[in-house]
């Protein structure tokens, strides 16, 4: 059995009941095979892959809080500090009832390579809680965030671990957590990113993942001789990533016609009304059923279905495994030319394989959505300098980083004889710097 196969088997055996973690291990290690096989004995002797797939540290803790009725509630909090070879752990916090250690390990593992791809000095981590902010009052969310940080503060710090937002964690939650960190430590430091502008946040961080996704998609399409202008785009999700992907798609002359939430999806043939979407989701924190009130000619459908709409480009921006093999077949049958992942691992392995086999330009999440964490790292730089850059400065850096990522993953794929396989290209390009740093730092 090859070293890669041995490690894949061992990780699955040692981490039962964590299908999402197994899925990312399969995807990443499979595509690292040609790199490992160039010097298999050496890497095996130094247990490189065993160390890479075992988080450096995992913290799990109780989060008690009191709801508006005086009832005590208890949630579970986590932080997975996966790899700090190239910088302090960096990665979001997710508040969603589905959160468990397996999902956070999948996200933390992906984050190692994504962060490396940005070219910035940040390691990989991820955390969160099974707390559901939906339907909670502001005061309930604040009490939860304060309790969460009352434990998390021991494990994070500007040079140790710098969390950010993710699903269910936006500006409100980051603000409450930052306030509590400051109170507990008496330090005004860059311990969280995605902060508000009045207390150390970076301009363009809110937009960064969605904008970055479009900068990436435009560059990847250009590499393949396709112009994004005039293309019809189907987007899933209606949160932070989806909203700003839609905004930038318009700015590039494309037409986004769908969005979704966990209850249903909207098809607006005239193009999604961005202002309506922002008002529904960002201001009213309401459901997409409201959209029809703004656009009576649009369609609202319960359940899944975004991928059935005929379009040129698909941008999954909701959550993991939301695009399966059947969806991939529908996209190919409908003539889609590109799929770029805004969410983390939104396509199943089978879907990814099918899309690649059918010559769809496929941009994997760890490269395509790296704009968020890249801008978070820019926020850390600004905090360290005690300066605030203009929106244009940050946006220009973001665009440059995303275009660089496209060039690097393309070059890595070519170097290993896998031209056009950007999944392999992203894994290899991200891995090489981490590998180099791990080798240099010895057995730690
Ligand atoms: P938000 O919480 O702002 O939005 C998430 C969106 O996805 C909502 O529309 C939500 O619908 C929908 N969604 C969440 N879970 C499910 C589910 N199980 N089934 C169907 N729809 C679901 O999160 P973000 O936009 O920040 O994150 C979206 C994705 O992008 C995630 O995979 C995240 O990890 C990834 N990402 C985010 C980054 C960021 O900077 N924010 C950076 C890089 C990646 P509903 O409101 O009904 O729950």
Q: Is residue 405 part of a domain?
A: no
Question: Are residues 334 and 212 part of one domain?
Answer: yes
Contact status, residue 422 vs residue 339, Cβ threshold 8 Å? no
3-state secondary structure of 80: strand
Residue 440 lies in a domain: no
Q: What pLDDT is stored for residue 254 in this prediction?
A: 98
What is the total count of domains within the chain? Answer: 3
Output the residue whose Cα is nearest ligand 1's atom 22.
Answer: 262
Query: Residue 141: how many CB atoms within 10 A of its CB?
Result: 18
Q: Take atom 35 of ligand 1 and give the residue whose Cα is closest.
A: 343
- For 135, phi and psi rounded to 5 degrees? 80, 0
Segments forming the whole domain that contains residue 42: 3-52
DSSP category for residue 224: T
The confidence score (pLDDT) of residue 30 equals 96
Helix then strand then coil, % of the chain, to nearest 5: 50, 15, 35
Using the mean position of ligand 1's atoms as its centre, give its distance from the Cα of residue 241 in Å: 7
Beta-strand ranges (E) seen in 55-117 are 57-66, 72-83, 89-95
Q: Which atom of ligand 1 is nearest to the CA of 164?
A: 40
pLDDT level of residue 35 (50, 70, 90 thresholds):
very high
Instruction: Give pLDDT, residue 67.
Output: 98
What is the pLDDT averaged over residues 24-41? 96
pLDDT (tens digit, 9 = 90+) per residue, 269-310? 999 999 999 999 999 999 999 999 999 999 999 999 999 999
Nearest CA to ligand 1 atom 4: 239
**Are 46 and 70 found together in one domain?**
no
pLDDT in tens, 426-439: 999 999 999 999 99
Q: The dihedral of CA 128, 131, 133, 138: what is its sign? A: negative
How far is 185 from 188, CA to CA, in rounded Å? 8
Residues 45 and 125 occupy one common structural domain:
no
Phi/psi at 109 (nearest 5 deg)?
-65, -45
The alpha carbon of 419 and the centre of ligand 1 are apart by a number of angstroms equal to 31
Q: Are residues 176 and 62 in the same domain?
A: yes
Give tens-digit pLDDT for 3-18. 999 999 999 999 999 9
- 17 within a domain of the structure (yes/no): yes
373, part of any domain: no
Based on the fold, state whether residues 221 and 351 are members of the same structural domain. Answer: yes
Nearest residue by C-alpha to atom 43 in ligand 1? 369
Q: List the residue whose alpha carbon is closest to atom 37 of ligand 1.
A: 166
Q: What CATH number corresponds to the domain at position 340?
A: 3.40.50.720
Residue 253 lies in a domain: yes
Quick one: 111 and 221 in the same domain?
no
Q: pLDDT grade, residue 119 (50/70/90)? A: very high
> What is the percent of the chain where pLDDT is above 70?
100
**What is the spatial distance between Cα 120 and Cα 372, in angstroms, rounded to a whole number?**
12
Q: Do 229 and 349 fall within a single domain?
A: yes
- Compute the distance between CA of residue 320 and CA of residue 333 in angstroms, rounded to an integer: 23
214 with 358, same domain? yes
Catalytic residue among 90, 114, 126, 231: 126
E strands, 217-281, are: 232-235, 255-256, 258-260, 264-267
Per-residue pLDDT band for 389 (boundaries 50, 70, 90) equals: very high
Atom of ligand 1 nearest to the CA of 369: 43
Same-domain status, 238 and 311: yes
Instruction: Indicate which CATH number applies to the domain containing 181.
Output: 3.40.50.10860
Tell me, yes or no, whether 143 lies in a domain: yes
d(CA 370, CA 110): 11
pLDDT for 382 equals: 98
**One domain for residues 19 and 78:** no
Residue 261 belongs to some domain of the structure: yes
Establish whether 292 is a catalytic residue: no
- What is residue 94's predicted lDDT score, i.e. its pLDDT? 98
pLDDT level of residue 182 (50, 70, 90 thresholds): very high
Task: Indicate the top mutation candidate among 90, 112, 167, 262 to test ligand 1's pocket, ranked by most ligand atoms within 8 A of CB.
Answer: 167
For ligand 1, which residues put their CB under 6 angstroms from it?
165-168, 209, 237-242, 261-263, 317-319, 342-344, 369, 372
| Domain final residue pick, 329, 363, 397 | 363
Tell whether 140 is covered by a domain: yes
């Amino acid at each position: 059995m090859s070293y890669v196969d041995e490690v894949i088997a061992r990780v699955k055996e040692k981490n039962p009941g964590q299908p999402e973690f197994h899925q990312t291990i399969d995807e990443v290690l499979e595509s690292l095979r040609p790199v490992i096989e160039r010097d298999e004995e050496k890497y095996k002797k130094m247990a490189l892959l065993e160390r890479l797939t075992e988080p450096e540290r995992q913290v799990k803790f109780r989060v008690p809080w009191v709801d508006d009725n005086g009832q005590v509630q208890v949630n579970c909090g986590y932080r997975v500090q996966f790899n700090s070879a190239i910088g302090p752990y960096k990665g979001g916090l997710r508040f969603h009832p589905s959160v468990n250690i397996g999902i956070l390990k999948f996200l933390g593992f992906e984050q190692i390579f994504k962060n490396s791809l940005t070219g910035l000095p940040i390691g990989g981590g991820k955390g969160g809680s099974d707390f559901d902010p939906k339907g909670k009052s502001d005061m309930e969310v604040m009490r939860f965030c304060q309790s969460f940080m009352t434990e998390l503060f021991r494990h994070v710090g500007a040079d140790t671990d710098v969390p950010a937002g993710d699903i269910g964690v936006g500006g409100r939650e980051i603000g409450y957590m930052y306030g509590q960190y400051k109170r507990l430590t008496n330090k005004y430091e860059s311990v969280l990113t995605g902060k508000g502008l009045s207390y150390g946040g970076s301009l363009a961080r809110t937009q960064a993942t969605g904008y970055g996704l479009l900068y990436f998609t435009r560059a990847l399409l250009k590499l393949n001789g396709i112009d994004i202008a005039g293309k019809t785009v189907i987007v899933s999700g209606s949160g932070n990533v989806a909203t700003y992907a839609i905004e930038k798609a318009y700015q590039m002359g494309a037409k986004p016609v769908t969005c979704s939430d966990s209850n249903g999806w909207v098809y607006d043939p005239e193009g999604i009304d961005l202002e309506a979407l922002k008002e529904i989701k960002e201001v009213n924190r309401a459901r997409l059923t409201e959209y029809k009130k703004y656009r009576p000619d649009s369609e609202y459908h319960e359940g899944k279905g975004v991928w059935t709409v005929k379009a040129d480009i698909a941008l999954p921006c909701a959550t993991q495994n939301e695009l399966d093999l059947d969806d991939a077949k529908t996209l190919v049958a409908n003539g889609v030319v590109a799929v770029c992942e805004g969410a983390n691992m939104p396509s199943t392995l089978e879907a990814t394989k099918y899309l690649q086999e059918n010559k769809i330009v496929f941009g994997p999440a760890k490269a395509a959505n790296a704009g968020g964490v890249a801008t978070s790292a820019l926020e850390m730089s600004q905090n360290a300098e005690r300066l605030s850059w203009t929106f244009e400065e940050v946006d220009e850096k973001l665009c440059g980083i995303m275009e660089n990522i496209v060039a690097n993953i393309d070059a890595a794929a070519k170097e290993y004889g896998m031209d056009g396989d950007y999944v392999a290209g992203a894994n290899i390009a991200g891995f090489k710097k981490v590998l180099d740093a791990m080798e240099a730092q010895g057995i730690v």
